[in-house]
Amino acid sequence: MARLNSPQELHRFQEELLSRRPSTASFVSICAGTGCLAAGAKEVIAAFKEEMEKSGIAAKIQSKETGCPGFCERGPVVVIYPEEICYLQVAPQDVPEIVAETLMNRKVVDRLLYVDPATKKRVQRESEIPFYKKQVRNLIGNNIRIDPRNIEDYIALGGYTALAKALFQMTPEEVLQEVKRSQLRGRGGGGFPTGRKWEESRNAPGDVKYVIVNADEGDPGAFMDRALLEGNPHSVLEGLIIGAYVVGAHQGFVYVRQEYPLAVENITIAIRQAEEYGLLGENILGSGFHFRVKVHQGAGAFVSGESSALMTAIEGKVGEPRPKYIHTAIKGVWDRPSVLNNVETWANIPLIINKGASWFTQFGTDGSKGTKIFSLVGKINNTGLVEVPMGVTLREIIYEIGGGIPRGKEFKAVQTGGPSGGCLPAELLDLKVGFDELTQAGSMMGSGGMIVMDEDTCMVDVARYFLDFLSEESCGKCVPCREGIRQMLKLLTAITEGKAKEGDLQLLVDLAEVACDASLCALGRTAPNPFLSTLKYFASEYEAHIKERRCPALSCKALVSYYIDPERCQACLRCLRSCPAQAISGAKDTIHVIDQDKCTRCGTCLEVCPPRFAAVRKVSGEPVPPPLPEEKRIIVREREGK
Amino acid sequence: MRSVVLEIDGREVGAKEGMTILDAARSVGIQIPTLCHHEKLEPYGACRICTVEVESRGRSRLVASCVYPVEEGISVRTRSEKIDRLRKMILQLLLAHAPDSPVLKELAQEYGAKEDIFDKEPSFCIHCGLCVRYCAEVKKLNAVGFVGRGTKREIAFVPEVASKVCWDCKECFPLCPTSALQAAYMLVEAFAGSGPGVD
Amino acid sequence: MELERVDGIIERHGADPSSLIQVLLDIQKENQWLPPEVLRRVSERLQVPMARVRHVATFYKAFSLVPRGRHEIHVCMGTACHVRGAPRVLNAVQEVTGIGPGETDMELTFTLKTVNCVGCCALGPVVEIDGVTYGKMTPSKAAEVIRNYK
């Protein structure tokens, strides 16, 4: 492959690629993102290769291992082009049929299609599936068409056109103005105006500047950056190079968490390929601009995803945050101007340059322009990645795209913004999603994690969970965070164990104030948010735990007791045999009874009791009903037909 | 060095660009409590007890005065109900670790901090970092350092270095506000030759 | 681990002090843990004080300063998995293995770690053993899977 030495050569190469791949060409995309791989995509991919060889069509039809399209609940996902036929939950044993019917005869295998739960009709085209239809997939839409390890797929779809435009048709100042006009705000959590950050670095004194991709994605439940970096690494790289051009940086870093080995691999390959094709490195596309990128792995620390901590980690030191009174855009890595942006922020740049700021601003609200990818997880039917314009309501995301709560349970809360965010109750389902709207409601956008919770989730436990998370992830340097979280966790744990004392809640509120006001970094300053938001919207749950030693959600182990309803028990022996504490007595035809002294509340009996009996019950705040006397426990069964 | 004029507690204070609010305040005799600050060391910004209120361009924020650079025209308050409340809680959190520390007891009296708000914690280190930073920045020996993270963070001597240099030095000992340092040293002396990560 | 291999890794990163974390990651990957003599070598060759090497090695979760078990069990405790019942799964795992998070059993069979989100939230609760992902875990299913590894 010859280097591309000018925008004209890039354009010619694009045309050549397109002529080799007419839009009518048939190919098979199989999602090879981490989620689908965990669900068995590797075997599906191997099955396709084998089957296509056997049938002799491997020469005419290509199979592609692609990036994550986001419909993770139904993986492994396979899409067949040009018809865009989407098959879900594909197993290796389905592959011969798919090859024979669809690839060779263009016939659809109905049983693998999506079934609309409302109309009960099967949906054939990927874009017609309600989960996708209501999204605006500007960023993630291409993932299913691209093999992330092949730069030509990206170029064929118009990749690197924005870079060529920026380098040859615009000055750095013009590119900056376009980004400012787009009103793009950082997608990592801070929501800081991207253009302003770039401008600060551009104007800062110094010859050596840096641009950095923050791919640390530490918020539990958020995986959109993983999908973008694994699935379309060039989109991020292209944005980064454009940013470097504006700021005047010649060295960039991609900081990826080591927990994402596939993302590390794919971005490393992408960097190498971009260099081979003349799109990165010395004299990019013949423009005279040079820029190199290095991959730096994280080593398992949430706090190191904070921008100043990340820069300290790049310097090889312990990733502790620094007080940020002087913006890192002015004094960052090695005290040099450093622009750090999130993966998703960088991925937006090529779109803004290609299609213009006015195109971008047509999406979103006044304060939050563009689209945002949310990771919709937890108690939700359609778990996955959802890309929508800012301003869409929580209700639309959770019900229309997410398909609502499974098993007929009731929605209770949605947690946004990770450990720095808050829980929003049902009354706020019509809230429009945007930076300022979420912050005003007591939560925040964060990186876009949206964790749905139902009636079985205890909100006090949620607050405790996040403080537990942060107690380990705090760097430990400053007192308000390290000690504040330490004590808040103790107090909340006591509440979930029914050991709360008078004044504990007030002390929690006082500690929250100190952490919010005096912590060194944003981790500490936002650590109390889950507690404060759950106290605001679910105060009754706190009261029940503290005053009645009752967990309304029947979740807190220490406050819940299990018993077997004698009216429903059919003495099938299943729970008796599974109980790890051997706490259940009974026999075939003798009602099972849980010995409360031995019971460890592990929940196994509830799990294994057949749904048609559903005899295991939980109570909280009251004693279990006394067990039947032994004589009454024998089940007399009616024998039929004798 | 450009000169900068700012207001602290209603007084006009002349300072130089590059100074911190703490430096500027001390230069005119205004007291701000500190625990992790030392003139021979780079400011650390970890104890947060030096937190003050800064008003600049109509916006008010709470900042650590030991690291916040002076700016022309800002207005600083070193005491207020809010600030006093913050300092009191910080002290109470630290008293749970080191109730007998003289410097903490003195500050506790001034701010009304009580030692029994929180249960006693096992470690008496308050993480001021003076020992670690002094050994790194002044002695350049790095005989003692931090290990771990979050609520599990601790100080620990590096036995192979400490065994060679500490006996004749001990310059960090008087810096420790709680004598946790001395305890850590005793520990490494007694257990020289065991533990993970060290020989 | 032979010091030659350590030196090789250090060279690959240009023996630059700022590559400390990357060097330790490569060693951890190859050796599964960071023995004391390896840390000393890294400190010498990268010219980084031992105190700092040790802080880095104990600050980041990826590193282990003790040998690990033959099978590494990771139980995801991310929010999505938590909400779907991960704590009960963890309890079951602890019961079957006899160890708690961060621990390795005496026979070096298992090392148990909790991790904060592996990005497979649709399959939650998730347990990873030796890199193989087990999704939609329940306490009894997790116990069974682990018993198969014994």
Complex confidence, ipTM: 0.94
Answer whether residue A71 is part of any domain.
Answer: yes
**Of the candidates A145, A142, A116, A146, which has an alpha carbon nearest to the alpha carbon of residue A128?**
A116
Is pLDDT above 50 for A278? yes
Nearest to C55 among B147, B198, B199 (CB): B147
User: What backbone torsions phi and psi does residue A185 show, to the nearest 5 degrees?
Assistant: -115, 145
Instruction: Answer yes or no: do B136 and B179 share one domain.
Output: yes
Chain C positions in Cβ-Cβ contact with residue A297 (cut-off 8 Å):
21-22, 25
Write the CATH number for A91.
3.40.30.10
Quote the domain boundaries for residue C10.
3-59
Q: What's the number of domains chain C is made of?
A: 2
Binary contact (A479, B48; C-beta < 8 A): yes
- Cβ atoms of C46 and C14 within 8 Å: the answer is no
Instruction: Answer yes or no: do C95 and C36 share one domain.
Output: no
Instruction: Answer yes or no: do C122 and C143 share one domain.
Output: yes
Answer whether residue A398 is part of any domain.
Answer: yes
Answer whether residue A147 is part of any domain.
Answer: no
Residue A361's pLDDT is 98
- Cβ atoms of A367 and A241 within 8 Å: the answer is no
In A228-320, DSSP assigns E strands to 251-256, 292-297
Quote the domain boundaries for residue A28.
18-132
Binary contact (C84, A316; C-beta < 8 A): no
Answer whether residue C114 is part of any domain.
Answer: yes
Question: How many whole angstroms separate alpha carbon A66 and alpha carbon A54?
Answer: 22
Residue A508's pLDDT is 98
Instruction: Answer yes or no: do C79 and C141 share one domain.
Output: yes
* pLDDT tier, A2 (very low <50, low <70, confident <90, very high otherwise): confident
Last residue of a domain, one of A513, A547, A581: A547
Listed in sequence order, the DSSP H helices in A55-189 are 95-97, 105, 130-133, 151-156, 161-169, 172-182
Q: What's the number of domains chain A is made of?
A: 5
CB neighbour list of residue B169: distance below 8 Å, 6 or more residues apart: B139, B141, B143
Answer whether residue A151 is part of any domain.
Answer: no
Write the CATH number for A280.
3.40.50.11540
Binary contact (A377, C122; C-beta < 8 A): yes
Chosen for mutation from B142, B152, B155, B165 (greatest number of chain C CBs closer than 10 Å) is: B142
Instruction: Answer yes or no: do A449 and A477 share one domain.
Output: no
Q: What's the number of domains chain B is made of?
A: 3
Instruction: Answer yes or no: do A257 and A401 share one domain.
Output: no
Cα dihedral sign, A106-A111-A113-A115: positive
Instruction: Answer yes or no: do A41 and A127 share one domain.
Output: yes
Question: How many whole angstroms separate alpha carbon A238 and alpha carbon A468?
Answer: 38
Nearest to A510 among B62, B89, B119 (CB): B89
Across chain B, mean pLDDT equals 92
Does B98 touch chain A if contact means CB atoms closer than 8 Å?
A: no
Report B:117-146 residues touching C (Cβ under 8 A): 132, 135-136, 142-146
Binary contact (B199, C50; C-beta < 8 A): no
Transcribe C65-132 into DSSP letters.
SS---SEEEEEE--HHHHHTTHHHHHHHHHHHHS--TT-B-TTS-EEEEEES--S-GGG-S-EEETTE
Question: How many whole angstroms separate alpha carbon B13 and alpha carbon B25?
Answer: 8
Residues A357-413 pLDDT 10s: 999 999 999 999 999 999 999 999 999 999 999 999 999 999 999 999 999 999 999
Q: Rounded to 5 degrees, what angle do the CA atoms B186, A319, A199 make?
A: 150
Instruction: Answer yes or no: do A289 and A380 share one domain.
Output: no
Chosen for mutation from A259, A310, A462 (greatest number of chain C CBs closer than 10 Å) is: A259
Instruction: Answer yes or no: do B110 and B165 share one domain.
Output: no
Residue A450's pLDDT is 96
**Of the candidates A96, A88, A93, A74, which has an alpha carbon nearest to the alpha carbon of residue A124?**
A88
Cα dihedral sign, A587-A592-A595-A601: positive
Residues A39-64 pLDDT 10s: 899 999 999 999 999 999 988 899 99
Which pTM was predicted? Answer: 0.94
Instruction: Answer yes or no: do A431 and A471 share one domain.
Output: no
Instruction: Answer yes or no: do B115 and B145 share one domain.
Output: no
Instruction: Answer yes or no: do C85 and C125 share one domain.
Output: yes
Answer whether residue B198 is part of any domain.
Answer: no
Give CA torsion, residues C55, C61, C63, C67, to 10 deg: 120
Answer whether residue A154 is part of any domain.
Answer: no
Quote the domain boundaries for residue B116.
81-122
Instruction: Answer yes or no: do C76 and C27 share one domain.
Output: no
Answer whether residue B196 is part of any domain.
Answer: no
Does A171 touch chain C if contact means CB atoms closer than 8 Å?
A: no
Write the CATH number for B18.
3.10.20.740
Question: How many whole angstroms separate alpha carbon A308 and alpha carbon A344?
Answer: 19
Instruction: Answer yes or no: do C90 and C49 share one domain.
Output: no
Answer whether residue B74 is part of any domain.
Answer: yes
Written as six digits, the tokens of B32 are 């701000």
Question: How many whole angstroms separate alpha carbon A479 and alpha carbon B43?
Answer: 15
Nearest to C82 among A258, A318, A465 (CB): A465
Question: How many whole angstroms separate alpha carbon B132 and alpha carbon B142?
Answer: 7
Residue B65's pLDDT is 97
Which stretches of chain C drop beneath a pLDDT of 50? none
Instruction: Answer yes or no: do A125 and A172 share one domain.
Output: no
Across chain A, mean pLDDT equals 94
Answer whether residue B136 is part of any domain.
Answer: yes
Last residue of a domain, one of B59, B79, B99: B79
Is pLDDT above 80 for B10? yes
Instruction: Answer yes or no: do C80 and C112 share one domain.
Output: yes
- Cβ atoms of A218 and A257 within 8 Å: the answer is yes
Binary contact (B142, C52; C-beta < 8 A): yes
Residue C130's pLDDT is 87
Write the CATH number for C103.
3.40.30.10
Q: Which residue has the higher pLDDT, A558 or B195?
A: A558
- Cβ atoms of A441 and A428 within 8 Å: the answer is yes
Nearest to B145 among C34, C37, C52 (CB): C52
Residues B133-149 pLDDT 10s: 999 999 999 999 999 99
Report B:113-152 residues touching A (Cβ under 8 A): 117-119, 121, 126-127, 129, 146, 148-152
Does C12 touch chain A if contact means CB atoms closer than 8 Å?
A: no
Is pLDDT above 90 for A637? no
Residue A408's pLDDT is 92
Answer whether residue C84 is part of any domain.
Answer: yes
Question: How many whole angstroms separate alpha carbon B30 and alpha carbon B35?
Answer: 16
Instruction: Answer yes or no: do C136 and C85 share one domain.
Output: yes
Last residue of a domain, one of A423, A457, A491: A457
Distance from CA of A481 to the nearest CA of B (A): 9
Instruction: Answer yes or no: do C34 and C91 share one domain.
Output: no
Instruction: Answer yes or no: do A442 and A478 share one domain.
Output: no
What's the rounded mean pLDDT across residues B120-137? 95
* pLDDT tier, B197 (very low <50, low <70, confident <90, very high otherwise): very low
Residues B167-191 pLDDT 10s: 899 999 999 999 888 888 887 776 6
Residue A69's pLDDT is 92
Instruction: Answer yes or no: do A444 and A497 share one domain.
Output: no
- Cβ atoms of C88 and C140 within 8 Å: the answer is no
Structural element, H or E, at residue B7 = strand B3-8
* pLDDT tier, A641 (very low <50, low <70, confident <90, very high otherwise): low
Is pLDDT above 60 for A149? yes
Answer whether residue A4 is part of any domain.
Answer: no
Does C44 touch chain B if contact means CB atoms closer than 8 Å?
A: no
Long-range contacts of A58-64 (CB under 8 A, 24+ apart): A60/A26, A61/A26, A61/A27, A61/A28, A61/A103, A62/A27, A62/A28, A63/A27, A63/A28, A63/A30, A64/A27, A64/A28, A64/A29, A64/A30, A64/A145, A64/A146, A64/A147, A64/A153
Residue A34's pLDDT is 87
Instruction: Answer yes or no: do A438 and A474 share one domain.
Output: no
Chosen for mutation from C37, C50, C64, C65 (greatest number of chain B CBs closer than 10 Å) is: C50
Is pLDDT above 80 for B195? no
Write the CATH number for A514.
1.20.1440.230
Last residue of a domain, one of C59, C81, C100: C59
**Of the candidates A538, A529, A537, which has an alpha carbon nearest to the alpha carbon of residue A509?**
A529
Distance from CA of A313 to the nearest CA of B (A): 14
CA atoms within 13 A on the CB side of C27: 32
Written as six digits, the tokens of A574 are 């299943």
Binary contact (A478, B46; C-beta < 8 A): yes
CA distances from A64 to A93, A313, B50, C139 (A): 19, 36, 59, 37
Distance from CA of A239 to the nearest CA of C (A): 24
Chain C positions in Cβ-Cβ contact with residue B161 (cut-off 8 Å):
50-51
Instruction: Answer yes or no: do A310 and A202 share one domain.
Output: yes
Instruction: Answer yes or no: do B135 and B187 share one domain.
Output: yes
Q: Treating both helix axes as pointing N-terminal to C-terminal, what angle do A224-231 and A233-247 enclose, rounded to 10 degrees? A: 90
Binary contact (A480, B48; C-beta < 8 A): yes
Residue B191's pLDDT is 62
Write the CATH number for A399.
3.10.20.600
Nearest to B149 among A476, A480, A490 (CB): A476
Residue A201's pLDDT is 97
* pLDDT tier, B199 (very low <50, low <70, confident <90, very high otherwise): very low
Instruction: Answer yes or no: do A577 and A611 share one domain.
Output: yes
- Cβ atoms of A325 and A164 within 8 Å: the answer is no
Instruction: Answer yes or no: do C41 and C98 share one domain.
Output: no
Listed in sequence order, the DSSP H helices in A83-189 are 95-97, 105, 130-133, 151-156, 161-169, 172-182
For chain B, which chains pass the contact test of at least 3 CB pairs under 8 Å?
A, C
Chain A positions in Cβ-Cβ contact with residue B48 (cut-off 8 Å):
478-480, 518-520
Distance from CA of B197 to the nearest CA of C (A): 5
Residues A236-277 pLDDT 10s: 999 999 999 999 999 999 999 998 999 999 999 999 999 999
Is pLDDT above 80 for B198? no
Answer whether residue C65 is part of any domain.
Answer: no
Question: How many whole angstroms separate alpha carbon B65 and alpha carbon A472?
Answer: 28
Transcribe A322-364 into DSSP letters.
---SS-TTTS-GGGS-EEEEEHHHHHHHHHHHHH-HHHHHTSB
User: What backbone torsions phi and psi does residue A299 show, to the nearest 5 degrees?
Assistant: -130, 30
Is pLDDT above 80 for B193? no
Residue A639's pLDDT is 67
Answer whether residue C75 is part of any domain.
Answer: yes
Answer whether residue A444 is part of any domain.
Answer: yes
Instruction: Answer yes or no: do C48 and C83 share one domain.
Output: no
Residue A575's pLDDT is 92
Residue C133's pLDDT is 86
Residues A321-371 pLDDT 10s: 988 789 999 999 999 999 999 999 999 999 999 999 999 999 999 999 999
Answer whether residue A10 is part of any domain.
Answer: no
Report A:206-225 residues touching C (Cβ under 8 A): 217-223
Instruction: Answer yes or no: do A482 and A436 share one domain.
Output: no
Does C94 touch chain A if contact means CB atoms closer than 8 Å?
A: no
Residue of B nearest to C63 (CA): B197
Binary contact (B47, A478; C-beta < 8 A): yes
Distance from CA of A364 to the nearest CA of B (A): 29
Nearest to B158 among C54, C57, C58 (CB): C54
Instruction: Answer yes or no: do B139 and B183 share one domain.
Output: yes
Binary contact (A518, B93; C-beta < 8 A): no
